[in-house]
Amino acid sequence: MGNLIVKNGAGDKVLPTLSISEFETLFNKIKNWGDFPGDKLERGSLNYINPEKVASASSLVKTGNIVSLSLPWNTQSELDNHKPAIHYMSEIGNLEDQQPMCNKDFIGVDYHGKAVSHLDAMTHIVFKDQMYGGKKSSEQVKSSGSNWGSVDKLGPIVTRGILLDAPLFYNKKWIEPGNAITKDEILEMEKRFNFQISPGDCVLLRSGHFARRAELGVWDPSDYSAGFYLDAMELFKERKVSVIGADGDSDARPSPVAEMHSPIHALALPGLGIPLLDNLQLEPLAKSCNENKRWEFLVTITPLNIPRGTGSPVNPIAVF
């Protein structure tokens, strides 16, 4: 359809843009709906994580160093936090004259946004009324929640994590919003950092989003963010990746697809059945990877057990 010019660490990068009809052709080419039997279809690409994969990932634990990958609970309204989380005390013990006394609090959150670390279940994204496996959203999702591909069908997830550290690759503090990391760049990162993406992996992209935010200030990433380019999803299908995530939401914006805000979400969730981890804090993980000189680790992801839920806040843990 045309070209999208984005900035990266080595100069301008020109990427093809797609029309919505061209994207639909790509979607139909990439979807893997026939790869799993009916009783396993709802878990999508998580089926690539088997006991052998978990045992292999566990063997990566050498030092016992634990790294949290989540953002703090954010109750402050900002350009990147349109719907702040809620936290208040529901009971304070010093107002009671009995022992023991209790302090209790309430939390609440509308987590699908840009400020809460969360996992997207397959039911979260719909393309032309299709959810993963060809189920129709109009038939499966009601006001009470989703009857297909909900988050309670997914977790807990334990597997090998891979960090794609784009700023380190380009010797920058961060890559600029708008940058879309391509398949070829991922293949070069494999060579540079001595890993190979394999079936069942959880692949995380660090753009340096929160390093940039800390130094330059807040911006609204809804329309301006770094993420993956479309051909990265073809690689993830080929390698049978189980989970992807980022310090953004994996979509690069401006979008390379006309009239489509989140094409990576559409390819990942309804197309490939790959759950997404959004809004991760990957700066401490990048530091640990660089200190250990390895960009693979054990990762655990434990979403809340929410029947009919479209996702869940999470605090993923990397262990070295």
Instruction: Give domain status of residue 167, yes or no.
Output: yes
**The total number of structural domains that make up the chain:** 1
Instruction: Give domain status of residue 98, yes or no.
Output: no
Residue 51 confidence (pLDDT):
98
pTM: 0.95
* CATH code: domain of residue 125: 3.50.30.50
Whether 96 has a pLDDT exceeding 70, the answer reads no
Whether 9 has a pLDDT exceeding 70, the answer reads no
Mean per-residue pLDDT for 109-122? Answer: 97
Instruction: Give domain status of residue 93, yes or no.
Output: no
Give per-residue pLDDT as tens, 29-82: 999 999 999 999 999 999 999 999 999 999 999 999 999 999 999 999 999 999
Instruction: Give domain status of residue 108, yes or no.
Output: no
pLDDT band at 1 (very low <50, low <70, confident <90, very high): low
Whether 119 has a pLDDT exceeding 60, the answer reads yes
Mean per-residue pLDDT for 132-156? Answer: 96
Mean per-residue pLDDT for 159-178? Answer: 98
Whether 167 has a pLDDT exceeding 70, the answer reads yes
Instruction: Give domain status of residue 304, yes or no.
Output: yes
Give the C-alpha separation, 44 to 38, whole Å: 10
pLDDT band at 101 (very low <50, low <70, confident <90, very high): confident
Instruction: Give domain status of residue 22, yes or no.
Output: yes
Give per-residue pLDDT as tens, 248-298: 999 999 999 999 999 999 999 999 999 999 999 999 999 999 999 999 999
CA dist 222 → 173, 244, 281 (Å): 21, 19, 17
Whether 5 has a pLDDT exceeding 80, the answer reads no
Is the dihedral angle over the CA atoms 237, 242, 166, 279 positive or is it negative? positive
What is the residue range of 191's domain? 2-77+114-319
Instruction: Give domain status of residue 129, yes or no.
Output: yes
**Lowest mean pLDDT across 99-108, 119-128, 183-192, 278-287:** 99-108
Whether 97 has a pLDDT exceeding 90, the answer reads no
Mean per-residue pLDDT for 128-152? Answer: 97
Instruction: Give domain status of residue 90, yes or no.
Output: no
Residue 2 confidence (pLDDT):
59
